[in-house]
Structure 1
Amino acid sequence: MLRHMRRSSIKKLRDIIAYFTFKAKHLTERRLAKLIYIAEIYSIEKFGRRLSEIKFFNYYYGPWSPEVDHTEELLSGGDILIGFDTTSHGYDASFFKPNVDKTTISLSDGDKTILDDVLNDWGFKRTPEIIEHAKSTTPCKSSEFGELINFDEYIEECISTVIENDDDIVGGTLDAIEEYKIGFGETFKTKEGILNHLRSL
């Protein structure tokens, strides 16, 4: 199931799962998948980009990921144990648990902030609440049952807000306009020059 993913994407998925597992200690696969999905939404809203390349489908219990569903081939027996147990409501489920005291996780500070925000907002909530929230998000509501959830339109929608709220980008754009008005500055002569300047901020 993970063969279609690039090695870097598999590593990122492993690190996201490890981060959530070591912070939350005892996660069902269903709960984990929803937290990762919500992290995707948070990342889009904060940075205008996806957190990962994980695929999600609109399914019975909201967003479902085949990659998360098949991570036992990537994780079990290493830093994380995946085993079956009974939930507090009497359902059989697969649980993700730390198998060691510490593990190595290679995520950017921005990604860790997103995951921490998700845990702070949703880590203590009951799974049905998390599912309902995930179902209520724009990308999930915009897809039909069984369809791949498309994040692209939501990214486009959020990018303008991200740009408006980023003082560096707004300031850089105003600098570009001022240089253009007074007729100097090779940096801002072309669209590519402006984009390169904004990327460097």
Structure 2
Amino acid sequence: MEFTAFLKGIGLGGSLIVAIGSQNAYLLRQALKREFVLTCIAICIICDVVLIGAGVAGMGQLIIEAPSLLFWIKITGFGFLFWYGLRAARSALHPGAMVTNENNTAPDRRTVIAAMLAFSLLNPHVYLDTVVLLGSIGGQQPGDGRWYFALGAMLASTIWFSSLGLGARYLTPIFSRPNAWRILDGIIALIMWTLAISLFL
């Protein structure tokens, strides 16, 4: 029974986390630029583990019963996603080849950490998926099954973020060309704006 719940957690958690969103898009960009990749991966995994655990423990019901909390998260998330979409669009209009030499200036660690935390926690869809949806389904598992379900979902997130962050290096030859960055930044801008608008649909 516990193993079945574990597999359910892997399946559902994996299907939700693989969907392209702001968190995945930012992690991919940082991985391609090779800037604080392990830090970004760790933040993504830790945030998912905490949120999944909180959802299974019952926090999902609290969010459902406090719509005003979700509303202000939506407002903040909309502003952040729209602003980052503008940044990505500006980069798409003025692309540059990926530079890996010592003269390449990169953002400091605190800036990257703040951005990764924002993408991980300011998107209301994260709470709806990990806390409410996974929490409600995990909570329905009999006995200790809900914790095995949570472990499965956490494992799926760990595998996905690690694969995305560490596997992006194999795309480096493609992104040595400015046009590749133009396309990627254009796609990221569209993702950010689409997610921002979808918060109020």
Higher-Rg structure is: 1
Give the structure-2-normalised TM-score.
0.27
More strand by share: 1
